[in-house]
Amino acid sequence: MRWTSAALCVSSVLTAAVEPAAATEPADYSLAGSTSAGSQIARVEGGAGVPRFNENAGTLGHDVSGHQGDVDWPAAWNGGARFVYIKATEGTGYTSPNFPQQYNGSYDAGLLRGAYHFARPDVSTGAAQAGYFLDHGGGWTPDGRTLPGALDAEYNPYGDACYGLSPAALSDWLRDFSDAYRARTGRFPVIYTSTSWWNRCTGGNSGFGANNPLWVARYNDTLGALPAGWTVQTIWQYADSGNLPGDQNLFNGTMDQVRAFAAR
């Protein structure tokens, strides 16, 4: 299914119930064109080159944002990519101008693709941001080609690493987003994060692993410890650069398992 703004089905009841958090000044989105899945993890924890890729370790994919601009999708397919996550939104005030080309182009080239949202717990509620994400390309359909939406939870590029929230408050914000996304799609969103950020900013909350698939960032040739609550990762972002545009990822399974994950 191709994405257009007119193609989205919006739940007016849920949308009407969303009350954004009060703000005393306009939210800062000055970095939104360059923030992406892992941009702040690489900044804080350090990036790395491409480790050796074991073709038997999983299914190769990548993730992109407006930072990559328009992508040559046939070249990405020929380079081995079989799935991709694409930044759609940030907070409740930014949509990526490159999202339509990236989302539709990857689909046309044969990749399974999904959208992700860069979390901004400092500007509005989790439910408000889930609604904004869904209204701007973050939906899911059981067509076997669309991955469930992902929530990018990482270091704040604009200030305090944990967005000025306590572990309990940040955990509540993440739950608010997850519940709102599931209410409209029937799927729990994937959570993208790093072990260090998660354990620091949620206080090692173990309550998400049972339902939310994990997309974990660790730029190394070994996976290392997972965030509290998860015993297995669905996707591993193992390098912040490589042969494919954007970050390099491995799905923890075969291509048939990627298709099953998209369709369930």
108 noted as active-site residue? no
**Cα–Cα distance measured from residue 93 to residue 132, given in angstroms and rounded to the nearest whole number:** 9
Predicted confidence at residue 192, as pLDDT, reads: 97
SS3 185: helix
Task: Supply the pTM of this predicted model.
Answer: 0.87
Predicted confidence at residue 107, as pLDDT, reads: 97
Cβ-contact 37, 87 below 8 angstroms: yes
19 noted as active-site residue? no
Exactly one of 90, 154, 176, 240 is catalytic; name it.
Answer: 154
In the block, residue with structure tokens 């912040």: 240
Predicted confidence at residue 8, as pLDDT, reads: 39
Exactly one of 45, 63, 240, 247 is catalytic; name it.
Answer: 63
**Cα–Cα distance measured from residue 69 to residue 75, given in angstroms and rounded to the nearest whole number:** 15
Predicted confidence at residue 56, as pLDDT, reads: 59
- Our measurement of the distance from residue 49's CA atom to the centroid of its chain's CA atoms, rounded to an integer in Å, reads 21
**Cα–Cα distance measured from residue 220 to residue 226, given in angstroms and rounded to the nearest whole number:** 13
Predicted confidence at residue 45, as pLDDT, reads: 79
72 vs 66, 129, 160, CA distance in Å?
14, 30, 36
**Which amino acid, one-letter code, is at 208?**
F
Predicted confidence at residue 39, as pLDDT, reads: 74
Mapping DSSP onto H, E and C, the string for 233-247 reads CCEEEEECCCCCCCE
pLDDT of the chain, 264 residues: tens digit per residue: 566 653 433 333 333 333 344 444 579 998 888 777 867 777 777 766 555 555 557 999 999 999 899 999 999 999 999 999 999 999 999 999 999 999 999 999 999 999 999 999 999 999 999 999 999 999 999 999 999 999 999 999 999 999 999 999 999 999 999 999 999 999 999 999 999 999 999 999 999 999 999 999 998 888 899 999 999 999 999 998 889 999 999 999 999 999 999 998
The CATH number for 31-46+57-149+168-227+241-263, chosen from 3.90.280.10, 3.40.50.620, 3.20.20.80, 2.60.110.10, is: 3.20.20.80
SS3 35: coil
Give the domain ranges of the chain: 31-46+57-149+168-227+241-263
| Token pair of 49 as six digits | 């080159």
Here the contacts of 26-33 (C-beta below 8 Å, separation 24 or greater) are 27/91, 27/92, 27/93, 27/120, 27/122, 27/123, 27/124, 28/158, 29/90, 29/91, 29/93, 29/94, 31/157, 31/158, 32/90, 32/91, 32/93, 32/94, 32/118, 33/66, 33/67, 33/96
Exactly one of 45, 135, 152, 240 is catalytic; name it.
Answer: 152
